[in-house]
Amino acid sequence: MRTEGGQSAFGVLLFQDIAVIPILALLPFLAIGAGGESASGSGHATSSLIADYPAWAQAVLTLSAVAIVILVGRYLTRPAFRIIARTGLRELFLGSALLLVILIAMLMSYVGLSPALGTFLAGVVLADSEYRHELESDLASSKGLLLGVFFITVGAGIDFDLLMAQPVQIVSAALALIALKGAILWLLGTAFGLRQRERWLFSMSLAQAGEFAFVLLTFAVSSHVLAPDIAAFTSLVVALSMLATPALLLTYEHVVAPRVRLGDTPDRGHDTIKEEGSVIIAGMGRFGQIVQRMLVMTGYKPVVLDSSAEHIDSLRKFGIDVYYGDAVRPDMLVAAGIANAKLFIVAIDDRERAVELVDFVHRRYPQVKILARAADRDHVYRLCAAGADTAFREMFGSSVAMAKSALVELGHSDEDAERKARAFDEHDTAGLRHLMEVWDAELDVFSNPTYIARAKSRSDEFAELMAQDEEERER
């Protein structure tokens, strides 16, 4: 989610889920309009209370039922859940939510719509409640089980005899689906200005069919929109395309991403940089803004690059001089004067791209000093290994400042709290260098026994120093 491609993929997935609602609502009318057997002739629609009404009346009643569900859910469920919440019984709270889901599903079935649409609407209603977080917490323990039941049901309904009978046709159709959807997503990514690497991530992560296809296929068969044999064939194609997802993501991670790095060119135009600077700042978020303000107030004029056009427009309203452009582009760095710069400050919040950017500048312009923003200790090690002269943990300074204030509130003098904070800062910074000697890029720090042992030793040393200092203070 920290990449443009990931954010775009999430948006498309969310839209796909929302699009299920109108599709489920329209499928029965497709069956009626096709001149075939009405949806009321089988499946869930046999109990429809509006089956004998004209088509236009059915449409009006159906839309009215959906509107009633939304309005009632918005204005009546809140006070009802408020009363239930006062009992303090989680079981009653959860049971009431599930009862609401069942009732809405039954209502949708009675007006000729899919119960699946009803459960989806119930989810929308519950998500709009102030109790949604509590419901989410209560359902968290069962979420994996319910998802498992869903996919087990889907798997049990797949016709493997058909797969054995037509393997070439089914596999070819799955590959064609992945290729066609991937190509469409690539074109959409191009149209919306995603960089080349982000387009690859966007298209390869969404090239498969979605899990809601199984719901739609089942409902289409019960509504006589699709023949059972066509639905069975399509279900196999969907399942195979979903099975290909891990392979697609591994291909992106190990084949595509390493080959499409800093050299890729974004499709959106960037600002023309009018002057070069001795200091270049990449990233103007909450971290970069503070660095830029202090440098400007001291008399320096850093060249600031940021890749968010909306953020730049907001900053320019305050008179802050920022250039739109992606700092990972070599031509942007050249235009900013990287060849003659004294200092390059990496303040972007994307961990991976920050490491790539440091590595690129260090290799191409080794004479430039690099200061980098780090998310945590592991990120510090990776940035330093890539070539950063110094990496600063973004939360460290404010955390130490709060600890110092906590000591003052607990009765320590300002001087004593300041001394302890300074000692902790120096000890922890020295510990970073000490621990980097045993840091392994291939291992998580929690899986590195040598690192853990040395970290414990450093903590014990500092605890002893603080104990000695406290004894001296009490004398």
CATH number for position 275: 3.40.50.720
Mean pLDDT of 85-90: 76
Number of compact structural domains in the chain: 2
**CB-based contacts of 71: which residues, under 8 Å, 6+ apart?**
none
Residue 199: inside a domain, yes or no? no
Give me the pLDDT at residue 152, please. Answer: 82
For residues 420 and 389, state if they share a domain: no
Most confidently predicted of 93-107, 210-224, 297-311, 370-384: 370-384
Confidence of residue 39 (pLDDT cuts 50, 70, 90): very low
Stretch 177-199: mean pLDDT: 87
288-299 pLDDT per residue, tens:
989 998 998 888
pLDDT of 44 above 50: no
Domain range spanning residue 374?
A: 269-393
How many Cα atoms are found within 13 Å in the side-chain-facing hemisphere of 378? 13
Q: Which of 393, 412, 432 is the last residue of a domain?
A: 393
Confidence label for 98 from pLDDT (cuts 50, 70 and 90):
confident
Does residue 344 sit within a domain? yes
291 and 352: one domain?
yes
Higher pLDDT, 283 or 466: 283
The pLDDT of residue 447 is 77
Residue 353: Cβ within 10 Å count: 22
Residue 268 pLDDT > 50: no
> Taking the model in full, what pTM does it have?
0.49
Look at residue 410 and tell me if it is in a domain: yes
Task: Among 345, 369, 393, give the residue marking a domain's end.
Answer: 393
Q: What is the mean pLDDT of residues 98-110?
A: 84
Q: What is the mean pLDDT of residues 332-345?
A: 88
- Cα separation, 309 vs 300, whole angstroms: 24
Q: Do 435 and 474 reside in the same domain of the chain?
A: yes
The whole-number pLDDT of residue 455 equals 83
With contact defined as beta carbons under 8 Å apart, do 372 and 383 qualify? yes
Estimate the share of the chain in helix, then strand, then coil, as percent rounded to the nearest 5.
Answer: 70, 5, 25
What average pLDDT does this structure show over 214-235? 84
Phi first, then psi: give them for residue 383, nearest 5 degrees: -65, -45
Residue type, 355: V
Please say which residue of 393, 408, 434 terminates a domain: 393
Same domain, 354 and 445: no
State in Å, rounded, how far the first CA of the chain is from the last one.
54
Percentage of the chain exceeding pLDDT 90: 17
Name the residue with tokens 């319910």: 146
Confidence of residue 178 (pLDDT cuts 50, 70, 90): very high
Same-domain status, 343 and 370: yes
For the chain, the average pLDDT equals 80
- Confidence grade of residue 264 (pLDDT, cut at 50, 70, 90): very low
**Per-residue tokens: 234:** 């399509």
